[in-house]
Amino acid sequence: MKSTVAQVPLYQAKAEFFRMLAHPVRIRVLELLCEGPKPVRDLLAEIEIEASSLSQQLGVLRRYGIVTAIREGSTVVYELAGPDVSELMRAARRILTELLVGQRELLAELQAADSS
């Protein structure tokens, strides 16, 4: 496994970080975990996906170190690795929303221009 803490240019670490986030299921998992630790069963109930698919994506997050898993009896509970993560998800949500709104406005302008 390639370490995520290797001495690597910062811009490459950033690219890897964003790539780790770049999957719909992983995004949803992180946002759900912002509410607090959750057993796999609950994640599975909220995200419509096969258990093994979810597990694959949880594996990516675990390997990156952004979440941790703890076995509790017969179930496994996932948790965000640190408080930064939830701040990150909030920032991402805000920024993307602004960007999407901006794009929508731009699109509206273009369509208005089309019809004239």
Binding site for its own copies (CB under 8 A): 4-5, 9-19, 21-24, 26-28, 31, 65-66, 81-82, 84-85, 87-88, 91-93, 95-96, 98-100, 102-104, 106-107
27 binds DNA (CB under 7 A): no
SS3 content of the chain, % helix, strand, coil (to 5): 65, 10, 25
Nearest to 92 by CA among 36, 25, 22, 33: 22
In terms of CB distance, is 53 or 105 closer to DNA?
A: 53
11 binds DNA (CB under 7 A): no
In terms of CB distance, is 50 or 114 closer to DNA?
A: 50
Question: Which of the 8 DSSP states describes residue 3?
Answer: -
User: Which of 12, 46, 56, 102 is in the footprint of DNA by CB under 7 A?
Assistant: 56
CB atoms within 10 A of CB 67: 21
81 binds DNA (CB under 7 A): no
Tokens at residue 58, please?
């949880």
User: Which of 14, 35, 51, 100 is in the footprint of DNA by CB under 7 A?
Assistant: 51
Nearest to 76 by CA among 24, 39, 113, 45: 39
